[in-house]
A and B are shown apart, each in its own frame.
Chain A
Amino acid sequence: MAETTLRVATDVGGTFTDLVYFETDRATGKQTIRTAKSDTTPPNFEAGVLNVLKKGDVDIASVDFFAHGTTVVINALTERKGAKTGLITTEGFRDVLEIARGNRPDFFNLMYEKPEPFVPRHLRREVPGRISYRGEETKPVDLSALPAILDDFRTEGVQAVAVCLLHSYANPAHEQAVAAEIRRLWPEVSVVASHQITREWREYERSNTTVLSAYVQPVAERYLGRIEEGLASADYRGRLYIMQSNCGVDSLRSVKAIPITMVESGPASGFWGAAELGRIIGEPNVLALDIGGTTAKCSLIENGQVSIKTDYWIERSRKSAGYPIMVPVVDLVEIGNGGGSIARVDAFGKLHVGPQSAGASPGPASYGRGGTLPTTTDANLVLGRINRDYFCGGEVIADMDAVERAMAPLAAELGVGITEVARGIVRIANSNMVNALKLVSLNRGHDPRDFTLVVFGGGGAMHGVALGQELGVRKVVVPRGAPVFSAWGMMMSDLRRDYFVTRLMEEDDAAGLDALVAEMTAHATAQFGEEGVAADQVTFRPLVKCRYQNQEHSVEVPMEPGPVDAAKLAGMIARFHEVYEREYTYRLNAAVEIVGVHLIASAEVGKLEIVALPKTGAKLEDAIKGRRMVDYATEGVHEAVIYNAEKLEPGMVFAGPAVIEDPGTTIVVHPGNRVSIDDFGNTHIEIRG
């Protein structure tokens, strides 16, 4: 038996492939962490993965746990590089995909153009047959038109077929018959039916989900196949786990069947990391904020649990309705504000920040790569929050002349100096991010003052304290390794699946609920069994979706796993009123109805246990790099002590104003804040009391 346990996570992004490597010495428990980065190598992505493993000096054959995350699905969608897709749907309804919900989010726009469906009208075809909302067949399905339809699809060069029929969430028999017939008539084509992805109602959302799933299927299958072969060729013999959007990992085989579930896996692993971090440091209620180059994303973790929903949309904004994807995705809000967001003054003298971004190229003006527009990063440099002499960990010389040139037109338009412009940019960016954090907290009935703010990504620590102060949180925590926190979260993930089924039931229907929970549990147990996970290793958490009769929106009420009897149901309904009141501030003396069940099934598969860092007895003074004047916008200019993050260790305590510099991020500590480093190297910043 080896003396060490090796865990590896690789994350394939659009530009770089990242590696995080954890080695735990079984005898001493000592942990070594290595990170590496290499170029992403499309279309032979496996080459980039093997390169980064080689660069990180990883002995692939002896790795115990291998997790992999990828942006291949979201990229195929946003770049429109998926397969040519056809849709088979219920007679009379091929335009569901185009009519969508008929709304216009940019609601003053007389010339609004709807997002174009991923399947054009001539490739949306119909079959007769109807199932009622109760799941009863009211008209048998007629497959006789399929051969001609498939001939047309072949002629048109269709590569993937989506099947979505009305009310298939209640009874998938017709969909199964259609899919089976397509496979019989055309074995080579990629086919997916809606019930394989979701058992929830709403035909537009489900149709679109099925279409997008079919659209990415061939691309993702090819990708996963190549990664698998690449690792096999390097003698990896273990299992490969793929990061999912529900904060869990899943087996390669299962992800290959429904790859659309990878769509938001990047942000999901970061938020899972925040939940796990909260568990380790005893902070179960976390507001998590990830600030990257172009966007900021946030999510709320309550009592250690991430919230998983099936109300996820891509490309949705104030200007566009976007496209729904009804798969389990961590409940997050994303806004177009990151380090690279561009500031501009409009024709009426108003300052805006984002959503346009300078991107990786040319990047912020300060990168000196030809960027001429001022960004949030540039503003942070002007204010002395980022060290102009230690920019990007010292790898880039900040081009402050370019920054001044970029800011000068804004200063002229606003009639103020460069510093005032920079303060304005930071204040507007913060205001945008505070509103996003309110959306995931206040708008969902949570008081941010009851939460700890965990910030990560390259820009999280720069803005975290200012945001935390405005929201009134007690404490801001910057995790050790904040810039690679997503990969860290991946390493902490369980094998997890979230099952959602819509089924309307009365509030006293114990037999009905029992049958549904039992059916879903058996299905999940069988699926985990196929992954080699024994039934007793699987943890089940059923959540019952309930609402007051006639309401639209339901809340999820947790219930103990196992059989449901009248007493257990009554207890659940009593808890519904509590959960409901917490979220909406009131309760009603009205009938309750059950809308369905969300079952979470998870099993630990080689998760990392983090151990405390050693203390060397180093002195705090030795971590001080110097002092400089830092502009805290509304709090004025103060002389701040500058610390080297790599020399801080557990138990160290100091006060703001301060700046902590790490090669990958900068932590801005405001006047009056108390800072302490915990046993695991995380930075805690106390804002209140």
Chain B
Amino acid sequence: MLTRNIEVHRAGVARSGDAAKADPITTEVVRHALNSAANQMKRALVRTAFSPVIYEVLDFAVAIYDPQMRLLAQAPSLPMFMGTLNFCVQEAVKAIGGEANMFPGDMIMYNWPYGTGSHPQDLAVVNPVYLDDGELIGYTAIKGHWLDIAGKDPYCTDTVDVFQEGTVYPGVKIYKRGELNDDIYRMVVANSRVPKFVAGDLNAQVVGCRVGASSFVEVVKRFGRDEFRNAVEAMFDHGERVVRSYFESIPDGRYVGQGEMDSDGITDAAIPFEVVVEIEGSNVRLDFTAVPETRAGPVNCPLPSTISASRVAISMLAGYGEAPHEGHFRPVEVVTRPGTMFHPLPPAPCFLYGWPALQAIEVIYNAISKALPAAVPAQSGGCIASVVYWGTRQATGEPWADGSPHPTGQGAFKGGDGGTMLHISESATRFSPIEVWEAKNPWIMDRMALAQDSCGPGEWRGGPGIDFHFRMTEDTFITTAVERTKNAPWGLAGGGGARPNGVGVRFPDGRFESLPKTTRFVVPKDAVLELSTGGGGGYGAPADRPKAAVEADLKAGYISEEFARQHYPHAFAEG
């Protein structure tokens, strides 16, 4: 069935111990201890990082791997990075010449996009962990988003090859046997528009990896190597059973999910694509082979992120609310075709890799909804609605940069209305307080309000989108990366669509320029960046929404009377 140019990807099935010998209580205690170690890493990173993109947006992943590079534990952060860090570890170790060239105290920096799955700004620090006798017990690793890594712009929507996107560190030791490698460090600092930020964030990644390593060593020592390994195998087997039992509950079949991206950043043509979800017993196969060829603009999604998006989607559906590990990924098979948008080859540009990846998640849910509508919500605003801002402060001459995703309406689901929050791929992220933002950045926010009539109607309605108005107090550069501005978020099971995303700049003379994807656009002082995030789709027929719920929405102002009369005429019927 496999043809020559199709590749199939599965999770690691190597074994290091004997699950049958593990006692279930010890297994659970080991799982807790590993998650606690990962959480300690996260806390160290968040508390020491310099960039809000790390400490507020949580644009990073922290995880612990075994020597076979299987995921042992991961702390809650950006789910999209969840399944990519093992590729970073593999490639980083390979790049320095393998385990033989790796020593206690080494720390490897790695950001080649085709190995990390991300853009060059996402840089992984990989820390091999050894016991006192020199045995390698695994790795702690942190991939974090750096504010600027000397690409053509701090954030780009229009690159045409990967070399425009930033400096590449192809697996280099920033620490050798515990000593800072000063040559590399100076390269890092030299290759950024905001050197203080990246130096601070690199340091935070190193500190986090070290904190994790010492906790990890404690866990292995406490249980002993053999008991630890047996427990790990039992933990993986348990996770695998959880996911398999979920897919057994979904009818076997071949389900096609459809989605469309607005553009590739270079041309305005829409990019429709399909992902096929095949369920057979407890196995699930996600087939990306029918997607378009590699695009000219940076909306290509390198393979590790395609696999990660697939794993994120599956974990969210079937992961039983647990922190994910390798076992959860075992039932999932991902099929790709090299040379396509979801398996691009170097040097294709991939700066906006995250956008196709999160569209893929929504498309996978679209497919699942055809098997079992109640298993998924209607579509959300469908994008993280990202804006990156930078410039030079007038008073001090200091360079500054900041960036953030923005909350959108979430899709309704059987049994509940949608809320308004960040996209599920950013679910651990906390949106910045306005008071902190205004103190830090040269803008005043005039408005942050839920938008009336932006929510999809239905028996359960979608969450409203938000209108954000940022009035600039100094000239500011922006890059916007906002998808799903052309199509309404879809409703499910008879529910209606919602307002799509929109973004642009309103100039002091009243002129408005729509800018869904733009790079290094100058917003002059006193102009207003207007971002209107999309609503969530509705679930179930609007005619089935109880009259009292419609009235409550009217009273709250989520909807206008006109909207209510149009979508919920039954609420105005006599008697």
Which residues of A are at the interface with B, using a C-beta cutoff of 8 A?
92-96, 98-99, 101-114, 120-122, 130, 132-133, 138, 166-167, 169, 201-205, 318, 347-351, 414, 423-424, 427-428, 431-432, 435, 438, 442-443, 504, 548, 550-553, 583-586, 588, 590
Contact = CB atoms under 8 A, between A and B. Distances in A.
11 contacts: A93-B448, A95-B448, A102-B407, A110-B424, A348-B241, A348-B242, A350-B24, A414-B24, A550-B197, A585-B207, A585-B210
A255 B469 CA distance: 40
A552 B55 contact: yes
A133 to B, nearest CB: 4
Contacts, number: 192
A318 B317 CA distance: 17
A584 B40 contact: no
Interface stretch (B155-163, B256-264, B340-348, B426-434): B426-434
Contacts of A92: 445-449, 469
B420 A443 contact: no
Given A92-B446, A590-B200, A428 B28 contact: yes
Nearest to B469: A92
A166 B434 CA distance: 8
Nearest to A431: B29
Contact of A99 (B215, B435, B439, B448): B448
B354 interface: no
Given A107-B79, A110-B376, A442 B203 contact: no
Given A102-B422, A108-B315, A552-B52, A351 B25 contact: yes
Given A107-B79, A113-B416, A202-B433, A348 B238 contact: yes
B427 A103 contact: yes
Nearest to B58: A103
A208 B503 CA distance: 29
Given A95-B449, A110-B376, A351-B25, 19 more contacts: A92-B447, A96-B448, A101-B431, A103-B427, A108-B427, A114-B421, A121-B556, A122-B557, A130-B444, A203-B434, A349-B238, A424-B24, A432-B32, A435-B32, A438-B36, A583-B47, A584-B47, A586-B48, A590-B200
Given A107-B79, A203-B434, A550-B200, A121 B557 contact: yes
Interface residues of B, number: 78
Interface of B: 24-25, 28-29, 32-33, 36, 39-40, 43-44, 46-52, 55-56, 76, 79, 196-197, 200, 203, 207, 210-211, 215, 238, 241-242, 245, 315-317, 319-321, 324, 365, 376-377, 407, 410, 413, 415-416, 419-422, 424, 427-431, 433-436, 438-439, 444-450, 466, 469, 555-558
A133 B442 CA distance: 11
A431 B28 contact: yes
B245 A347 contact: yes
Contact of B25 (A99, A104, A130, A423): A423
A351 B316 CA distance: 22
B377 A203 contact: no
Of the listed residues B76, B207, B319, B416, the one surrounded by the most CB atoms of chain A closer than 10 A to its CB is B76
A590 B196 contact: yes
A583 B211 CA distance: 12
A333 to B, nearest CB: 12
Contacts of B25: 351, 423-424, 427-428
Contacts of A133: 435, 438-439
Contacts of A428: 25, 28-29
A98 B24 contact: no
Nearest to B29: A431
Contacts of A107: 76, 79, 424, 427-428
What 5 A-B pairs have minimum CB-CB distances, sorted nearest first?
A107-B427, A104-B427, A92-B447, A102-B431, A102-B407
Nearest to A504: B439
Given A104-B428, A122-B555, A202-B435, A442 B215 contact: yes
A182 B439 CA distance: 30
A422 B55 CA distance: 42
Of the listed residues B44, B315, B427, B450, the one surrounded by the most CB atoms of chain A closer than 10 A to its CB is B427
A132 B427 CA distance: 31
A407 B434 CA distance: 53
A98 B420 contact: yes
Given A102-B407, A102-B431, A104-B427, A109 B24 contact: no
Nearest to A553: B47
Nearest to A424: B25
A108 B319 contact: yes
Given A92-B447, A99-B448, A102-B407, A348 B377 contact: no
A129 B115 CA distance: 52
Nearest to A425: B25
Contacts of A442: 40, 215
Contacts of B321: 106, 108-109, 318
Nearest to A349: B24
Given A101-B430, A202-B435, A584 B419 contact: no
A414 B23 CA distance: 10
B142 to A, nearest CB: 15
Contacts of B555: 122
A120 B129 CA distance: 52
A102 B421 contact: yes
Contacts of B447: 92-93
Contacts of A414: 24
A132 B51 CA distance: 23
B431 A99 contact: yes
A105 B426 CA distance: 11
B200 A588 contact: yes
A97 to B, nearest CB: 11
Contacts of B438: 132-133, 167
A586 B448 contact: no
A550 B50 contact: yes
Nearest to B215: A442
Nearest to B433: A202
A427 B445 CA distance: 52
Nearest to B377: A110
A99 B466 contact: yes
Nearest to B422: A102
A326 B444 CA distance: 24
A203 B435 contact: yes
B435 A201 contact: yes
A95 to B, nearest CB: 5
Given A551-B48, A551-B49, A121 B558 contact: yes
Nearest to A133: B439
A122 B557 CA distance: 7
A203 B76 CA distance: 25
A427 B24 CA distance: 11
Given A167-B435, A201-B433, A588-B203, A122 B556 contact: yes
Nearest to A414: B24
A248 to B, nearest CB: 28
Contacts of B324: 108
A350 B238 contact: yes
A645 to B, nearest CB: 31
Contacts of B556: 120-122
Given A107-B79, A133-B438, A114 B419 contact: yes
Of the listed residues A109, A347, A442, the one surrounded by the most CB atoms of chain B closer than 10 A to its CB is A442
Nearest to B319: A108
Nearest to B428: A107
A476 to B, nearest CB: 19
Nearest to B27: A350
A428 B33 CA distance: 11
A227 B411 CA distance: 49
